[in-house]
Amino acid sequence: MDDKNLKGHLISLLWGGALAALLIYADQATKIWSENVLKDSAPIPLIDGVLELQYLENTGAAFGMFRDAQTFFFISTVAVMIIIASVLTRMPVTKRLFPLRFLLYIIFAGAIGNFIDRIRFRYVRDFIYFKLINFPIFNVADICVTCATILLIILMLAFYKDKDLAFLSRSGNQ
């Protein structure tokens, strides 16, 4: 890797790391707030009958799947973080790939946010509830992972071409 590419990767790592740190902080701060304010309390309606804040200690995933499967969550989170780090290090630092890079850092941050809870507590603190559709209770990290993944899929299907993603099939940094 030449000096220009190395500099681009380092700058990308700095702003991406700052973005991830900010999102992880927001996730952890809101979880601490929810635990202090909502735990053992009645839900707080934000939009009556639609959206409320309700504390939940979730040992599984959405819809109660994989309850108490901490080993699975640990391994899958580490795998996702390794894959994202690998893709980010191989991805050229270009304006065209900026949205992809941005979304990967957001997914990474969300994964770490919930990973912190799983390591510390063996559950994830959730607190946002769409009562209208009885959607599973979720948190800021879940929003990061879900929204960024949906946008990533849309970008991959509608915007990026095979030549944009050729770096994924190359071995090593080029």
Please tell me the distance from the alpha carbon of residue 173 to that of residue 117, in angstroms, as a whole number: 34
Residue 116 · residue 154 · CB < 8 Å: no
Which pLDDT value is given to residue 65?
72
CA angle 112, 118, 121 (to 5 degrees): 130
Q: What is the pLDDT of residue 68?
A: 72
Q: Starting at the edge strand that comes first in sequence, how are the strands of the sheet with 51-58 ordered?
A: 44-47, 51-58, 124-130
- Statement: the pTM of the whole predicted model exceeds 0.85: yes
Catalytic hit among 2, 68, 117, 142: 142
Amino acid at 60: G
Q: What is the pLDDT of residue 5?
A: 78
Nearest CA to 107 out of 77, 74, 66, 137 is that of: 77
Q: Where are the domains of the chain?
A: 3-168
Q: Annotated catalytic, 126?
A: yes
Per-residue confidence (pLDDT) for residue 168, from 0 to 100: 85
Beta-bridge partners for 56: 126
- d(Cα 135, Cα 110) in Å, to the nearest integer? 19
State the 10-residue block means of pLDDT for the chain, 174 residues long. Answer: 78 94 98 97 96 94 72 91 94 93 97 96 96 94 96 94 86 50
Q: What is the pLDDT of residue 171?
A: 58
Annotated catalytic residue within 27, 40, 117, 126: 126
Cα(18)–Cα(8) distance, integer angstroms: 15
Contact 60, 69 (CB under 8 A): yes
- Look up 142 and say whether it is catalytic: yes
